[in-house]
Amino acid sequence: MDSRIFLIGFMGSGKSTLGAQLARRIDYQFVDMDLLIEETAEMSVPEIFDEHGEEVFRKWEHDILLELCQSEKIVISTGGGAPCHSGNMDLMNSNGCTIYLKLSPEALLSRLIRSRTERPLIKGKSETELLDFIRSLLEKREKYYMLASSIVDGFNVKTEELVRIVSDS
């Protein structure tokens, strides 16, 4: 089994919830990259975007990922944009197994509609604007997400299936 397991996918795809469950099942450590960035920076993700901008956030995200690639027996829930910047997808594929939790724009909308204020990229959008935003950003991001070593139906996936995938990795 790979020593590092990266869960990737759009905001709201369930990376943190499923990642924590998977880690418990296989007795790996679990890390949520956004939380680790927040702890390190002593600021929330929206504060980082507000005060330093997205570019700085992406740099810190890459630095944290580089560090995590040194850890063993770890499940990592990545931020939705992480695979699409700074060569991070190649980095993750070279250092472990990557699992893409794939969901339709409509399914993502139903998950994200309630958490609009916590995420800087979707803050203040109406439901229609949010669906348009998800569709267009997902289209750009899928070329990175689809490079994952495994792709699963993020809407219906159960922890068991993830355990099976990583056991074969």
- The residues that touch ligand S3P, with contacts defined as CB under 6 A, are 11, 34, 45, 79-81, 119-121
* Least CB distance to ligand S3P at residue 93 (A): 19
Return the number of the residue (63 or 167) whose C-beta is nearest ligand S3P. Answer: 63
Q: What is the DSSP string of 97-154?
A: EEEEEE--HHHHHHHHGGGGGG-TTTTT--HHHHHHHHHHHHHHHHHHHTTSSEEEET
We find the least distance from the C-beta atom of residue 32 to ligand S3P, in angstroms, to be: 7
Q: Measured from the CB of residue 139, what is the shortest distance to ligand S3P in angstroms? A: 14
Q: Which is nearer to ligand S3P, 81 or 154 (CB)?
A: 81
Using DSSP's 3-state secondary structure scheme, residue 29 falls into strand
**Tokens 């680790």 appear where?**
36
Write down the least CB distance from residue 119 to ligand S3P, Å.
5
Residue identified by tokens 């980095």 is: 91
Give yes or no for a contact between 77 and 29, defined as CB atoms under 8 angstroms apart.
no
Q: Which is nearer to ligand S3P, 45 or 152 (CB)?
A: 45
Distance CA 149, CA 165 (A): 10
CB of 167 to ligand S3P, least distance (A): 25
Strand-by-strand arrangement of the 150-153 sheet: 29-32, 74-77, 4-8, 97-102, 150-153
Nearer CB in complex with ligand S3P: 117/164: 117
Report how far Cα 2 is from the mean position of its chain's Cα atoms.
18
> Judged by CB, which is closer to ligand S3P: 34, or 88?
34
